[in-house]
């Protein structure tokens, strides 16, 4: 038999890992197989896939013929014979469900890569139907990936509504079976689905009804937090949105593959920070992201200066960018922040300024509007001032020394809370290999043994010491 | 005359009580055929769907005119099920009803819900639609604090896109009056009655006096309203709060540190 194609060898190794995972109940082997998937996907060819199908399923199995048909290449028995004695690579027994699903996953990934969306949808339907007949915990990680491809297929063909019932049903099954991976994956997929259709209420309801599994993979948790942040931002709960989006950015994988996600998260973060009245740091716009964040940079500039005209121009100029990013409605809300910044600048610069001047400088319609707007700014805590209605001016209060207030204490508390949260998250994120406690136990036994010997020696030594002391004296 | 046609003629004549009466048997029929709960293009004919939609929309509009908010909300929820269905001809009332619903949310101060609804609309249509752009303009002004413009827009018969919008003028003015009162407390130390009347959009001084009496801590001395000095009064209470918070935080740190060690 000639040596296998390198990709086939890799896949065979994956099969071995999957078998090992099933035998030892250790999910890490599955994870290892899945990690290789993105790289493997690029190397797949129809010929290889057909061979994989032949290699996996016994002759006469309809899955075998189905997959071979999908690959579009006839099961080239000639090559099989060239490869070696026939039957050497051909399966004779039924494959494990894990391997069956893994092969399906390879096909899904390949079809998506080839942009054969209709075939992908048909295949996904079959695969999911098969998947739901199994109830094996070793399938969890594979299942979560399979759902991803199913949803992607439906999304690309614009079938968002139709796929929802099956997702919800599976979510129920997954949570009943304590299958956190699939649960987490399905929750994020559903949220994405709802947000794409702009069903924010449903998305918000879903979030309030489900518990996102704590031990889900980081990539999924990051995605979940991103969607959550988006929902909260739409609901005007900016503090929560900001907490979630920083979490998402921190949890996102730091590989080039996640660059797109990071960029989207970064954009949302900028807008949320602006809405909270903060100005994002300049460093956010550096480090090779200038181009993608240019529109947001311009908005930040306008908000910082408090110039309404500049703000309106920027929005008009980059409207299509914001619409494509799905942040347009959030950016529009920034108008009030622009006004507030303008008022704050004026309150800092003048100790007393007439409402008429404010009106002119902010380019407002009337003095009356200016009075209301300044009053609102005072109430929102943007400025410390009072209005003299009769004489029509705004009087700024003396600037308080911040160190005489609780402000430093509060900031200090925020930082401590952040550090504690980070520590707790890191502890939770640690993984412990299974059965390692047995090794520890063994070690503990050994240690105890050693200690006993030590005690014995010391006891014996003490006698010697006594002698020594005697000697010293 | 078909039930829908008589419904429409009653609505056009402005006889909203009659619309309500006519709708009752229709709703029973719709509920029986499933049009009320789960309308879909496979189970119902196009004509049925469009007729049901029109009936519900007229119901919603007349509920507005009768000032029945709860009923209006229900009709909106029911008729909006139809807007997602493919293949129906565009409804002439759709944007008007959605705009009225947005206005209702504004008058109830449900800003979060308002934005959630807004998100499901298409921006380009929103900005160019005379009905939909109205509540959006109002919301922008409210968030900025330009209350006088809101007041002018909602109470002026020529500025509103259709007469139904005037029905929300009272609750909306009531809502923004509350907002202005909160702002005034912080922004002024005292205010002449005359200015307060303009500020709070009252027609008479008596209205102002009544309003002032409803606000906790507001007092009238001669011709001026004085507001409670928020800071001086709360000083002792405040310092107690701060101390308690500090103790709470310290205990929290101690707990966390213990966990780490």
Q: How far apart are CA A161 and CA B81, in angstroms?
A: 14
> Would residue B204 count as lying in a domain?
no
Q: How far apart are CA B24 and CA B8, in angstroms?
A: 14
**What DSSP letter does each residue of A84-153 carry, written as one string?**
SSTTSSS--SPPPHHHHHHHHHHHHHHHHHTT-HHHHHHHHHHHHHHHTT---GGGHHHHHHHHHHHHHH
Residues A59, A146 within the same domain: yes
Asked if the model's pLDDT at residue A93 lies above 80, the reply is no
Beta pairing class for B219-221 and B224-226: antiparallel
User: Is A329 within 8 Å of B119 when comparing Cβ atoms?
Assistant: yes
Number of domains forming the structure of chain B: 2
Residue at a domain's end among A402, A420, A439? A402
Which residues contact residue A172 at a Cβ distance below 8 angstroms, ignoring those fewer than 6 apart?
none
- Min distance B192 CA to chain A CA atoms (Å): 8
What residues pair up with A395 in beta bridges, in sequence order? Answer: A352, A386
Residue at a domain's end among B92, B124, B145? B92
Q: Which residue has the higher pLDDT, A401 or A277?
A: A277
Residues B98, B153 within the same domain: yes
Residues B86, B99 within the same domain: no
Q: Closest by alpha carbon to B141, among A364, A276, A362, A272?
A: A364
- The tokens for B228 are 């409670």
Residues B134, B77 within the same domain: no
Q: How far apart are CA B56 and CA B79, in angstroms?
A: 6
Which residues contact residue B168 at a Cβ distance below 8 angstroms, ignoring those fewer than 6 apart?
B64, B100, B103, B104, B106, B107, B154
Asked if the model's pLDDT at residue A469 lies above 50, the reply is no
Per-residue burial over A185-219, b = 16 or more CB atoms within 10 Å of its CB, e = otherwise:
bbbbbbbbbbbeebbbbbbbebbeebebbeebbeb
Residues B78, B5 within the same domain: yes
Residue A34 has what DSSP assignment?
A: H
Which residues contact residue A378 at a Cβ distance below 8 angstroms, ignoring those fewer than 6 apart?
A384, A385, A386, A387, B183, B186, B187
Residues B36, B98 within the same domain: no
Give, rounded to a whole angstrom, the gap between the first and last alpha carbons of chain A: 84
Residues B82, B2 within the same domain: yes
> Would residue A373 count as lying in a domain?
yes
Number of CB atoms found within 10 A of residue B35's CB: 25
Mean pLDDT of the region A47-54: 81
Instruction: Supply the pLDDT for residue A87.
Output: 40
A229 touches A248 (CB < 8 A): yes
> Would residue B29 count as lying in a domain?
yes
Domain extent at residue A395: 351-402
Q: How far apart are CA A84 and CA B116, in angstroms?
A: 63
Residues B122, B88 within the same domain: no
Per-residue pLDDT of A231-272, as tens digits, reads 999 888 888 999 899 889 888 887 777 788 888 898 999 999
Give, rounded to a whole angstrom, the gap between the first and last alpha carbons of chain B: 83
Q: How far apart are CA A139 and CA A288, in angstroms?
A: 40
Which residues contact residue A431 at a Cβ distance below 8 angstroms, ignoring those fewer than 6 apart?
none
> Would residue A235 count as lying in a domain?
yes
- Three-state DSSP at B257 gives helix
Tens place of pLDDT for every residue, chain B, 261 residues? 577 777 777 777 777 777 777 777 777 777 777 766 666 666 677 777 777 888 888 888 888 777 777 888 888 888 877 777 776 777 777 888 888 888 888 888 888 888 888 887 777 777 778 888 888 888 888 888 888 888 888 887 777 777 778 888 888 888 888 888 888 888 888 888 888 888 888 887 788 888 888 887 788 877 788 877 655 445 666 778 888 888 998 999 899 888 887
> Would residue B223 count as lying in a domain?
no
Q: Minimal Cα distance from B150: which residue of A?
A: A369
**What DSSP letter does each residue of B187-242 carry, written as one string?**
H-SEEEHHHHHHHTT-SSHHHHHHHHHHSTT-EEETTEEE---HHHHTHHHHHHHH
User: Taking the CA atoms of chain B, what radius of gyration do you get in angstroms?
Assistant: 25
Question: Where does the pLDDT of residue A2 fall: very low under 50, low under 70, confident under 90, or very high at 90 and above?
Answer: very low
Per-residue pLDDT of B90-131, as tens digits, reads 777 788 888 888 888 888 888 888 888 888 777 777 777 888
Interface of B with A in 219-258 (CB under 8 A): 242, 246, 249, 253, 256
Mutate to test the interface with B, among A389, A404, A420 (most CBs of B within 10 A): A389
**Quick one: what percent of chain A has pLDDT higher than 70?**
89
CA-CA distances (angstroms) from residue A195 to A70, A133, B237? 33, 30, 45
Residues B60, B49 within the same domain: yes
Asked if the model's pLDDT at residue A86 lies above 50, the reply is no
CB pairs under 8 A between A and B: 99
Residue at a domain's end among B67, B92, B117? B92
Domain extent at residue B129: 93-179
Q: What is the ipTM of this complex?
A: 0.76
User: Is B187 within 8 Å of A333 when comparing Cβ atoms?
Assistant: no
Computed over every residue of chain A, the mean pLDDT equals 80
> Would residue A455 count as lying in a domain?
no
Question: With contacts defined as CB-CB under 8 Å, which chain B residues touch A364?
Answer: 146
Burial (CB count <10 Å: 0-12, 13-18, 19+), residue A395: middle
Q: Which domain CATH number covers A371?
A: 1.10.10.10
Burial (CB count <10 Å: 0-12, 13-18, 19+), residue A305: middle
User: Is A336 within 8 Å of B144 when comparing Cβ atoms?
Assistant: yes
Mean pLDDT of the region A42-48: 80
> Would residue A471 count as lying in a domain?
no
Which residues contact residue B8 at a Cβ distance below 8 angstroms, ignoring those fewer than 6 apart?
B54, B58
> Would residue A315 count as lying in a domain?
no
Per-residue pLDDT of A204-233, as tens digits, reads 888 888 888 877 788 888 999 999 999 999
User: Is B187 within 8 Å of A378 when comparing Cβ atoms?
Assistant: yes
Instruction: Find the CB nearest A413 among B115, B140, B249.
Output: B249
> Would residue A339 count as lying in a domain?
no
Mean pLDDT of the region A75-82: 47
> Would residue B197 count as lying in a domain?
no
- The tokens for A36 are 């290789």
Burial (CB count <10 Å: 0-12, 13-18, 19+), residue A447: exposed
Asked if the model's pLDDT at residue A181 lies above 90, the reply is no
B200 touches B214 (CB < 8 A): no
Measured torsion, CA atoms of residues B202, B205, B209, B215, in degrees rounded to the nearest 10: 30
A330 touches A271 (CB < 8 A): yes
Residues B67, B29 within the same domain: yes
Question: With contacts defined as CB-CB under 8 Å, which chain B residues touch A159?
Answer: none
Number of domains forming the structure of chain A: 2
Number of CB atoms found within 10 A of residue A434's CB: 12
User: Is B112 within 8 Å of A235 when comparing Cβ atoms?
Assistant: yes
Per-residue burial over A133-147, b = 16 or more CB atoms within 10 Å of its CB, e = otherwise:
eeeeebbbbbbbbbb
Asked if the C-beta of B188 comes within 8 angstroms of chain A's C-beta atoms, the answer is yes
What residues pair up with A387 in beta bridges, in sequence order? Answer: A394
């Amino acid at each position: 038999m000639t040596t296998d194609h390198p990709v086939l060898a890799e896949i065979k190794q994956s099969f071995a890992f999957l078998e090992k995972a099933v035998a030892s109940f250790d999910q890490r082997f599955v994870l290892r197989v899945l990690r290789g998937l993105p790289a493997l996907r690029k190397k797949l060819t129809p010929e290889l896939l057909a061979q994989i199908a032949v290699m996996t399923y016994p002759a006469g199995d309809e899955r075998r013929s189905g997959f071979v048909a999908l690959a579009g290449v006839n099961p080239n028995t000639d090559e099989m014979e060239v490869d070696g004695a026939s039957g050497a690579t051909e399966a004779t027994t039924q494959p494990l469900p894990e391997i069956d699903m893994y092969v399906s996953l390879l096909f899904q990934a390949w079809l998506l890569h080839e942009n054969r969306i209709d075939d992908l949808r048909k295949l996904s339907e079959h695969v999911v139907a098969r998947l739901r007949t199994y109830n094996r915990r070793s399938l969890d990680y594979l299942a979560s990936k399979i759902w991803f491809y199913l949803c992607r297929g439906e999304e690309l063909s614009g079938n968002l509504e139709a796929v929802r019932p099956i997702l919800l049903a599976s979510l129920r099954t997954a949570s009943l079976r304590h299958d956190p991976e699939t649960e987490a994956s399905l929750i994020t997929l559903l949220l994405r689905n709802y947000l794409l259709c702009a069903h924010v209420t449903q998305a918000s309801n879903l979030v309030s009804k489900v518990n996102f599994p704590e031990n889900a993979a980081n990539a999924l948790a990051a995605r979940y937090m991103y969607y959550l942040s988006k929902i909260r931002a739409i609901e005007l709960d900016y503090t929560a949105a900001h907490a979630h989006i920083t979490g998402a950015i921190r949890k996102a994988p730091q590989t080039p593959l996640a660059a797109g996600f990071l960029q989207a998260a970064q954009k949302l973060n900028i807008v949320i920070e602006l809405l909270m009245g903060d100005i994002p740091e300049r460093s956010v716009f550096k480090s090779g992201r200038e181009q993608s964040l240019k529109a947001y940079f311009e908005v930040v500039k306008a908000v910082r200066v408090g110039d309404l005209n500049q703000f309106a121009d920027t929005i008009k100029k980059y409207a299509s960018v914001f619409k494509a990013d799905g942040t347009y409605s959030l950016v529009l809300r920034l108008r009030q922040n622009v006004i507030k910044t303008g008022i704050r600048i004026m309150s800092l610069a003048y100790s007393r300024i007439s409402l008429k001047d404010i009106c002119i400088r902010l380019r407002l319609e009337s003095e009356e509007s200016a009075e209301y707007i300044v009053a609102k700014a005072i109430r929102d805590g943007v400025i410390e001032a009072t209005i003299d209605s009769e004489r029509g001016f705004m009087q700024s209060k003396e600037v308080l020394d911040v160190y005489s207030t609780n402000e430093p204490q509060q900031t200090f508390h925020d930082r401590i809370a952040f550090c504690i949260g980070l520590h707790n998250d890191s502890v939770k994120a640690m993984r412990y290999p299974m059965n390692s406690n047995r090794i520890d136990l063994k070690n503990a036994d050994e240690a105890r043994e050693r200690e006993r010997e030590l005690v014995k020696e010391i006891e014996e030594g003490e006698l010697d010491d006594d002698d020594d002391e005697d000697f010293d004296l | 005359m078909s039930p829908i046609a008589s419904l429409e003629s009653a609505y056009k004549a402005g006889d909203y009580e009659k619309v309500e009466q006519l709708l009752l048997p229709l709703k029973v029929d719709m509920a029986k055929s499933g049009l009320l709960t789960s309308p879909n293009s496979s189970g119902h004919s196009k004509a049925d769907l469009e007729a049901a939609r029109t009936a519900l929309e007229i119901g919603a509009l007349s509920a507005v005119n009768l000032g029945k908010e709860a009923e209006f909300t229900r009709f909106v929820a029911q008729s909006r099920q139809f807007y997602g269905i493919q293949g129906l001809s565009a409804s002439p009332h759709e944007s008007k009803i959605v705009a009225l619903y947005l206005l209702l949310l504004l008058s109830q101060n449900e800003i979060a819900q308002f934005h959630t609804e807004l998100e499901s609309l298409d921006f380009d249509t929103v900005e160019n639609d005379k009905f939909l752009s109205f509540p959006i303009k109002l919301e922008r002004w409210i968030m900025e604090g330009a209350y006088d413009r809101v007041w002018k827009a909602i109470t002026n018969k020529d500025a509103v896109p259709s007469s139904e919008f005037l029905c929300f003028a009272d609750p909306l003015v009531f809502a923004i009056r509350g907002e202005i009162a909160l702002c005034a407390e912080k922004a002024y130390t005292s205010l002449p009655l005359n200015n307060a009347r303009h500020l709070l959009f009252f027609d008479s001084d008596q209205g102002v006096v009544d309003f002032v009496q409803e606000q906790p801590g507001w007092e009238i001395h001669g011709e001026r309203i004085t507001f409670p000095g928020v800071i001086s009064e709360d000083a002792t209470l405040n310092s107690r709060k701060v101390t308690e918070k500090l103790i709470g935080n310290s205990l929290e740190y101690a707990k966390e540190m213990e966990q780490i060690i």
